[in-house]
Amino acid sequence: MFNWILIDEIIEKALMEDINYIDITTDNLIECDDVCKGDILAKEDGYIAGLEVFERVFKLLDKETQVNKLVKDGSKVKSGSKIAEIHGKTKAVLKGERLGLNLLQRMSGIATMSNKYAEAVKEYSVRIVDTRKTTPGLRVLEKYAVKVGGCHNHRFNLSEAVMIKDNHIRASGGIEKAILKIRDKIPHTMKIEVEVEDIESLKEAIKAGADIVMLDNMRIEDMKRAVKVAGGRVILEASGGITFDRIIDIAKTGVDIISIGALTHSVKAMDISLKIL
Amino acid sequence: MFNWILIDEIIEKALMEDINYIDITTDNLIECDDVCKGDILAKEDGYIAGLEVFERVFKLLDKETQVNKLVKDGSKVKSGSKIAEIHGKTKAVLKGERLGLNLLQRMSGIATMSNKYAEAVKEYSVRIVDTRKTTPGLRVLEKYAVKVGGCHNHRFNLSEAVMIKDNHIRASGGIEKAILKIRDKIPHTMKIEVEVEDIESLKEAIKAGADIVMLDNMRIEDMKRAVKVAGGRVILEASGGITFDRIIDIAKTGVDIISIGALTHSVKAMDISLKIL
Amino acid sequence: MFNWILIDEIIEKALMEDINYIDITTDNLIECDDVCKGDILAKEDGYIAGLEVFERVFKLLDKETQVNKLVKDGSKVKSGSKIAEIHGKTKAVLKGERLGLNLLQRMSGIATMSNKYAEAVKEYSVRIVDTRKTTPGLRVLEKYAVKVGGCHNHRFNLSEAVMIKDNHIRASGGIEKAILKIRDKIPHTMKIEVEVEDIESLKEAIKAGADIVMLDNMRIEDMKRAVKVAGGRVILEASGGITFDRIIDIAKTGVDIISIGALTHSVKAMDISLKIL
Amino acid sequence: MFNWILIDEIIEKALMEDINYIDITTDNLIECDDVCKGDILAKEDGYIAGLEVFERVFKLLDKETQVNKLVKDGSKVKSGSKIAEIHGKTKAVLKGERLGLNLLQRMSGIATMSNKYAEAVKEYSVRIVDTRKTTPGLRVLEKYAVKVGGCHNHRFNLSEAVMIKDNHIRASGGIEKAILKIRDKIPHTMKIEVEVEDIESLKEAIKAGADIVMLDNMRIEDMKRAVKVAGGRVILEASGGITFDRIIDIAKTGVDIISIGALTHSVKAMDISLKIL
Amino acid sequence: MFNWILIDEIIEKALMEDINYIDITTDNLIECDDVCKGDILAKEDGYIAGLEVFERVFKLLDKETQVNKLVKDGSKVKSGSKIAEIHGKTKAVLKGERLGLNLLQRMSGIATMSNKYAEAVKEYSVRIVDTRKTTPGLRVLEKYAVKVGGCHNHRFNLSEAVMIKDNHIRASGGIEKAILKIRDKIPHTMKIEVEVEDIESLKEAIKAGADIVMLDNMRIEDMKRAVKVAGGRVILEASGGITFDRIIDIAKTGVDIISIGALTHSVKAMDISLKIL
Amino acid sequence: MFNWILIDEIIEKALMEDINYIDITTDNLIECDDVCKGDILAKEDGYIAGLEVFERVFKLLDKETQVNKLVKDGSKVKSGSKIAEIHGKTKAVLKGERLGLNLLQRMSGIATMSNKYAEAVKEYSVRIVDTRKTTPGLRVLEKYAVKVGGCHNHRFNLSEAVMIKDNHIRASGGIEKAILKIRDKIPHTMKIEVEVEDIESLKEAIKAGADIVMLDNMRIEDMKRAVKVAGGRVILEASGGITFDRIIDIAKTGVDIISIGALTHSVKAMDISLKIL
């Protein structure tokens, strides 16, 4: 699933950050040949994401390290349950422990929260999606965790899809002009999303051929009207300051997509520990 | 304050992640010469951290961009107040907006939470410190934000200070042996911290000449005893699953340091927006 | 238009390749303070692309170097006409000359060929697009040149858009299953393109909701039928071994897109020289 | 033959360019354990170059991938013949296909054209050599392909050998002064080449001790005279706008070297495909 | 012991420096399958350091290369004795020979000199330590070699420990103010070292709570007084222009630490050769 | 003179090594706006090399820093004389001081030693040249310093010139075969050097058309014979364990080149200090 050239670069940067030139304690007290076993344990309920990345941390420190994954990404685990076992050189295990857990805990935290959102709306034909409000440098891992948790991804980066906002509209002389201008310049493989704040703009966007319309910070009532106005001609995305409390009300409006920055920008790491036996 | 060689590398990596080869919308709809102004606004109360890093994002996109900082890092701001103004090429402002905010919001979120902890114990002569549970790749920024918020830093990486844990002790044949062995190998500029789980081990660590002893997951009563036993001969650090509710009780025990992973591993981004005028 | 972080990295790598540690001739024979002027001249007719990149090569060697662009990217120039003037330290001009020209000549060669294709079909509502058959490492520059020449871009990379080929179909158990399976997993901002070799598959792809169908190596007659069958419900892309001779016949079939690898994989560099005065 | 540290860096950069963070189609539709076989087929006659590099692309994606090379670099192949077989994880094969072919086709295109030139002059004791007009970033691969095709390499970079041009001569106060000045500064392992436009300059260069003289854009008659004048005392290199038509006439003049930019700057990729079975 | 992510980067950079794109001699004259054996021989007496790094050079060129280490780092060897045997592809052995030896000779030279210093003072309870006067880019290897030779390390970098010098004192308004100010800002894991030039300043530093005091360029008599004044309350470090002749006299003063830049800034490479059999 | 893309990379790597994420002392005690002046002083006699590199260290930390060079590279300075003045932000000066001096001292140490060798043989028409026994990562700076000191450079890397050694000869079936084989494969711009240990091999090398012959570890008498045998037909290079004592005797033999590894592998840093005023 992962492009390991990219992931390895992330891990190696992070190992350099955490170790720098030596693990002064471990390299002075542990023998090079010492081996150990350890258990990776959930300390709270949650959904696991990132086991392959966790394993890779140790493989990059010592390719002989074995990580025996007892569950798969996306599995629900109970507090106290064992997620994986590790076996390898003690030095590699101790040096990789903190980074491995930092990644696994963060990714599982995202998966767990995403799952909560996805579960909440499962009766509705709506998608919860993430945003570009990810941790700088870790987007690929965080967006993966969102999917593991049962939500979906929005565009990955600014190159990948068009999102016409207020400023683009103003600079282009209106929604229609913006859409026509950019349709002529972008690959035929790309969709155009337009951000609107009212029903008039929605109508204009639909007329001009938008593929997706983002309803920015709209009230529930307006969303309902938007759904009626759109009549299935565009994908409707609700966005802007959406909290968990409002999620079902928004789902009920009939919008297709709800995008939520908090899935990645305000993450509670899942409590997971590595217990060396 | 920052080593810009390091910070620039972080920012450039993140810009590549967010932009890749083009901002397909902006580069097709905004003219190269267009300029704009914008306000950076707090959308909730909090403590600001990361304004220099925020500014640097835009400078790296177009060195002519001006960011006029109206407050300093560490300032308390009210919801609705203006934090800074930006003025520059519209293309640079739009391309840097997301990354600039992602960093500023995360760092300010950390500063705000740190401040809450620091305020809670300000009557006591105890330090709240962070841990190595930081976001991989962003440690330098996150540890900076912890300090801006009024807390302190623990060691930055595994090279910088000794932390003898259970496994190191076992491999060395006891606390005393471990301390003596490593004292002989490390620079005279380094302190030795030992992690203990009971009072006996604390006594052994003090006797062997530890500089700092970490009381791992101890109950309040045991911490009190540890303080009495130590009698100022070592720095005592309380650690392990410490929540905000317990912080004052722990402070009252007389330990010198309380280390809290949540300062960086479970951050709620502060709500800050860039409003283009 | 360009993400300079990306472009600068390309240029710096290439300067290191061409110079390594010194320009043994120039650094030993030219004084550091010597300045010179030069003209960039077209030695054949063509369309210019890459002047900003050309300029950047010299700026990175010495930021004081001045490149005065007399035409814009996309301009048609005649053999013998002056494209730009350069003025700066002789050392910088001589060291950058070869790389600057290598890039400008290649990009202008692509623009010139693209223009020829675009011109040929300008009476038809068809787009000529490029492919991923670009020079490894230079895709961003080559796809830019294709657009400068009047053609369009296909997807930039494997992350950006879905292209379901024979193997994907087989592994998924048919076109419909493949489309349904992937629709559920990809961002709502993405389109799905399916590659087909016959009309039956086209029908299946349309029915299953494909956005774009690539007609792989089809005969003209089949393309015509495909256009009729599709009836505007999907974008039709003709692809596979398309030569200039057939381009008008294909355009007449009514397909929407013609993709041509030769735009970038078999480029004749435009003859351009730098004449130092 | 290759410095793999360098080649791997080229390939990894190019894989990042082509894949970015995911192959959205393959990673969503192909199982991780799926394996496949494929044939690499020549679709036109030509000389193969780059099979080791082709193989390396897939090894870097998944080191278990097997590429069974049926011919060696430098072999002449007929249209329709099988060049190699590939066997490995379907994901790795599909992700590496485009880059592997882009490199193999380009390198084989260069080898094929080089062979045509080398064959044309094989009766004469003249070498056809390349220039620095290579694709930025790929010089090492392109110069290798030139040799595979039967031609030779000129200097690799500006550090490696001296080439005194008009500007260097002017700045030094004449050919003799330039040669004497630089001879004193360069390693004794280096040769000096001087570029001249007339016979007088050739004489001056010989007298001053040049090792090689480049006859820049000279007419056939002048080349003949140059050969006579030189009398074997220097290596003579014909250069400048040399087309295939003139190659034999130039060879007949008796010059030692003919340098041709088109070997690398205007390459027609050889048609090669990967057919998954 | 080593962080191989860091060491590999150093080695790969150095291989690129030494080889660039090809070993023009070896790659043209030695067959890819040729294997050879070689002996690594000491040509003078000394202490060996760097065998693992030596081995890694060849492993990175060809992971099949075998280096059979006959001694361990820190061993004393006699001129003429065999240190290790190498066995592998001739190409890898020849390409790695120079870099492997450059590293091994330099590291062994440092270990040998360090041993001389360490031996000289072994009767005294004083440590000889290195400084930051290391070769740019090789600090991790040089500080390792210092320890192999029997001396100790000072701080690794500017992040790791506090060293308050004259300028810091002046800017802070005195020694006491500087110490108090920085104690409040640094991690509790860090020590504070202050540089002083006279006894008054030493007293002030002790009073203000310095952990280490560096006696900069003090005369022997003053060092003795400093030891008396300190009375064990701080670690005393003698520094500044210390030559081998004075080392015993300084050791006798009772200072704890003597720091010597020459351990790394003026190294005589140990004479070691690789003899291919 | 320098390729700054390369030099900057060396300096930035070294600054990261020396600073890592912060200068904990300076960043906490010195105000961002503080400025200072300093003198760079020679503490012993010697030849200066590296002033531009020294300056660049500070420019990369803060581009406003001014370094006023009072002498040029290659100047002889007396102990106590001022080499340069620095003026800039105190933070930048303190952070760059160690690296700037480490480079300047090392390069000046090399220049000083090179000068001693060059002076010794100035009556003879012989060149003293360096070898590839340079510090890994710093070759470009060290070879520059050798030239500044009045000696010359041998080949820079393995790509740049042919050096046929014993193993190459054996693998090729003799000196003549080796030379003929490689002459056919290398650029016409390259010379061929052959390493020989006796007069017979010298004769064979000359006959086969070698350009340079290295006399490896020959006795003075044999060198004299070699000069006679060669009679000016090849460049003769004396090499192998050459010490300063023997240099004049070797020069008198009439060889053209004497190569000396000690110029770079066993350097005594010149004593230079930065005195902040």
The distance of E205 to chain A (nearest Cα, Å) reads 28
Sheet architecture: strand order including E66-69: E66-69, E82-89, E35-42, E272-276
How close are the terminal C-alpha atoms of chain F, in Å? 32
How many interchain CB pairs under 8 A, B with E?
63
Tell me how far apart the alpha carbons of residues C115 and B121 are, in angstroms, rounded to a whole number: 71
Q: Which of B200, B195, B234 is nearest to B215 (CA)?
A: B195
How many interchain CB pairs under 8 A, C with D?
194
E156 contact residues in B (CB cutoff 8 A): 159, 187
Listing DSSP states for chain A in one string gives ---HHHHHHHHHHHHHHHHTT--TTHHHHS-TT-EEEEEEEESS-EE---HHHHHHHHHHH-TT-EEEESS-TT-EE-TT-EEEEEEEEHHHHHHHHHHHHHHHHHHHHHHHHHHHHHHHTTTSS-EEE--S-PPTT-HHHHHHHHHHTT-B---SSTTTSEEE-HHHHHHHTSHHHHHHHHHTTS-TTB-EEEEESSHHHHHHHHHHT-SEEEEET--HHHHHHHHHHHTTSSEEEEESS--GGGHHHHHHTT-SEEE-THHHHSPPPP-EEEEE-
D22 contact residues in C (CB cutoff 8 A): 158-159
pLDDT of C222 over the 90 cut = yes
Minimum CA–CA partner of E35 in chain F: F171
C269 contact residues in D (CB cutoff 8 A): 133, 261, 265-266
For the segment D175-232, what is each residue's pLDDT rounded down to a tens digit? 999 999 999 999 999 999 999 999 999 999 999 999 999 999 999 999 999 999 999 9
Q: What average pLDDT does chain F have?
A: 97
Sheet architecture: strand order including D127-129: D127-129, D257-259, D235-239, D212-216, D192-196, D162-164
What tens-digit pLDDT sequence spans chain B (277 residues)?
Answer: 799 999 999 999 999 999 999 999 999 999 999 999 999 999 999 999 999 999 999 999 999 999 999 999 999 999 999 999 999 999 999 999 999 999 999 999 999 999 999 999 999 999 999 999 999 999 999 999 999 999 999 999 999 999 999 989 998 999 999 999 999 999 999 999 999 999 999 999 999 999 999 999 999 999 999 999 999 999 999 999 799 999 999 999 999 999 999 999 999 999 999 999 8
pLDDT of F241 over the 90 cut = no
The distance of B92 to chain C (nearest Cα, Å) reads 10
**Cβ <8 Å between B140 and F21:** yes
Largest CA distance in chain D: 71
Q: Give the residue-averaged pLDDT of F177-199.
A: 97
Q: How confident is the model at residue D241 (pLDDT cuts 50, 70, 90)?
A: confident
Residue type at position D60: L
Tell me how far apart the alpha carbons of residues B73 and B48 are, in angstroms, rounded to a whole number: 5
**Cβ <8 Å between E266 and F265:** no
Contact B127, B256 (CB under 8 A): yes
* Residue B192 backbone dihedrals phi, psi, to 5 degrees: -115, 125
Tell me how far apart the alpha carbons of residues C174 and C133 are, in angstroms, rounded to a whole number: 27
**Cβ <8 Å between D190 and F127:** no
* Residue A193 backbone dihedrals phi, psi, to 5 degrees: -110, 140
Tokens 């307006």 label which residue?
A222
E31 contact residues in F (CB cutoff 8 A): 171
* Residue C208 backbone dihedrals phi, psi, to 5 degrees: -80, -5
* Residue C155 backbone dihedrals phi, psi, to 5 degrees: -55, 150
Which of D155, D165, D181, D203 is an active site residue?
A: D165
Contact A215, A202 (CB under 8 A): yes
Query: H or E segment at F215?
Result: strand F212-216
Tell me how far apart the alpha carbons of residues E110 and E265 are, in angstroms, rounded to a whole number: 9
Mutate to test the interface with B, among F12, F16, F21, F25 (most CBs of B within 10 A): F21
Tell me how far apart the alpha carbons of residues F257 and F151 are, in angstroms, rounded to a whole number: 10
* Residue D151 backbone dihedrals phi, psi, to 5 degrees: -95, -170
**Cβ <8 Å between F22 and B1:** yes
Listing DSSP states for E26-87 in one string gives HHHHS-TT-EEEEEEEESS-EE---HHHHHHHHHHH-TT-EEEESS-TT-EE-TT-EEEEEE
pLDDT of D252 over the 90 cut = yes
What tens-digit pLDDT sequence spans chain E (277 residues)?
Answer: 799 999 999 999 999 999 999 999 999 999 999 999 999 999 999 999 999 999 999 999 999 999 999 999 999 999 999 999 999 999 999 999 999 999 999 999 999 999 999 999 999 999 999 999 999 999 999 999 999 999 999 999 999 999 999 989 998 999 999 999 999 999 999 999 999 999 999 999 999 999 999 999 999 999 999 999 999 999 999 999 798 999 999 999 999 999 999 999 999 999 999 999 8
The distance of E221 to chain F (nearest Cα, Å) reads 24
Residues of B with CB under 8 A from a CB of E: 127, 129, 147, 152-156, 159-161, 185-191, 193, 212, 235, 237, 256-257
Give the ipTM of the model, two decimals please. 0.96
Mark whether C133 is an active-site residue.
Answer: yes
How far is C-alpha F268 from the geometric centre of its chain's CA atoms? 13
Note the pLDDT of residue C256: 98
C-beta atoms surrounding B123 within 10 Å: 10
pLDDT of C241 over the 90 cut = no
For the segment F71-103, what is each residue's pLDDT rounded down to a tens digit? 999 999 999 999 999 999 999 999 999 999 999
**pTM for this structure?**
0.97
C-alpha to C-alpha distances, A117 to A42, A113, B247, nearest whole angstrom: 21, 7, 31
What per-residue string of b and e applies to D141-158 under the rule 16 or more CB within 10 Å gives b? bbbbbbbbbbbbbbbbbb
**Cβ <8 Å between D24 and C158:** yes
Residue A54 corresponds to which tokens in the numbers above?
A: 């966790």
Note the pLDDT of residue E241: 79
Low-confidence stretches of chain A (pLDDT < 70) are none
Q: Which of F125, F124, F43, F133 is nearest to F80 (CA)?
A: F43
Sheet architecture: strand order including E127-129: E127-129, E257-259, E235-239, E212-216, E192-196, E162-164
Q: How confident is the model at residue F6 (pLDDT cuts 50, 70, 90)?
A: very high
How far is C-alpha B6 from the geometric centre of its chain's CA atoms? 16
F5 contact residues in C (CB cutoff 8 A): 12, 15-16, 19, 60
* Residue D141 backbone dihedrals phi, psi, to 5 degrees: -75, -40
How close are the terminal C-alpha atoms of chain C, in Å? 32
Tell me how far apart the alpha carbons of residues B47 and A51 are, in angstroms, rounded to a whole number: 35
pLDDT of F1 over the 90 cut = no
Q: Chains contacting C with at least 3 CB pairs below 8 Å?
A: A, B, D, F
3-state class of D154 per DSSP? coil
Q: Which of C200, C245, C198 is nearest to C223 (CA)?
A: C198
C-beta atoms surrounding B82 within 10 Å: 14
Note the pLDDT of residue A230: 97
Minimum CA–CA partner of F92 in chain B: B3
Q: How confident is the model at residue D26 (pLDDT cuts 50, 70, 90)?
A: very high
C-beta atoms surrounding C247 within 10 Å: 20
Query: H or E segment at B164?
Result: strand B162-164
Tell me how far apart the alpha carbons of residues B246 and B218 are, in angstroms, rounded to a whole number: 12
Contact B60, B11 (CB under 8 A): yes
Contact C183, C209 (CB under 8 A): yes
Listing DSSP states for D223-276 in one string gives HHHHHHHHTTSSEEEEESS--GGGHHHHHHTT-SEEE-THHHHSPPPP-EEEEE
Mutate to test the interface with E, among B7, B188, B214 (most CBs of E within 10 A): B188
**Cβ <8 Å between B187 and E153:** yes
**Cβ <8 Å between A3 and D22:** yes
Contact E230, E250 (CB under 8 A): no
**Cβ <8 Å between A1 and D22:** yes
Q: Chains contacting E with at least 3 CB pairs below 8 Å?
A: A, B, D, F
Tally the residues of chain B: 277
Contact E142, F137 (CB under 8 A): no
Tell me how far apart the alpha carbons of residues E14 and F140 are, in angstroms, rounded to a whole number: 11
The minimal CB distance from C29 to the residues D26, D178, D261 is found for D178
DSSP-assigned beta bridge partners for residue A235: A212
**Cβ <8 Å between C181 and D36:** no
Residue type at position E65: T
C-beta atoms surrounding E242 within 10 Å: 18
Beta pairing class for E35-42 and D272-276: unpaired
Q: Chains contacting B with at least 3 CB pairs below 8 Å?
A: A, C, E, F
Minimum CA–CA partner of E125 in chain B: B184
Tell me how far apart the alpha carbons of residues D110 and D73 are, in angstroms, rounded to a whole number: 12
3-state class of D136 per DSSP? coil
Note the pLDDT of residue F275: 93
Residue C147 corresponds to which tokens in the numbers above?
A: 């657009």
**Cβ <8 Å between D18 and C132:** yes
Note the pLDDT of residue B230: 97
Note the pLDDT of residue B1: 76
F256 contact residues in D (CB cutoff 8 A): 188
